[in-house]
Structure 1
């Protein structure tokens, strides 16, 4: 018997826990990430959640180190560009809670 973990990759903590359980399992383990393909979602007209950086940004660059192509720096503050897919991981990892979802 093996272990099957199903995770939401937009839930960073839950995803990390799922991978840890899979890693710790002594036998075969599989992790299934459940989210629609971003490319297909955009083609179908689905509008992603929008995020912006508030003035609380401390310039720590943790969001940039994450490697998301939608986050860049303008001066000493992060900025989210139009490559954002709306996953919200940046908001989950920002130690200053400076990245917020924008109501549309």
Structure 2
């Protein structure tokens, strides 16, 4: 059974690994799409938007409402992919930590 000092050292190590994992999430890129690729959003796994690409066919004034819907859908797709990538990275990071069952990260 680990003593309190050992537990504190493990918690500090886990926090350092968590900070490193959070930093690396900004380097993982995902791309959300909608409209069969007419609208593309590039983002990091941390959720930072890197770029937006819109097919020229959607730039007509008559397509305004559809374009707005497609941008929202592409953003949501990018966010879902970013969350999945972040979850996978965090799971890999915590796999080697001796945490008690049911212990949730981050602290």
TM-score, structure 2 as length reference:
0.20
Higher strand share: 1
The higher radius of gyration belongs to 2
Higher helix share: 2
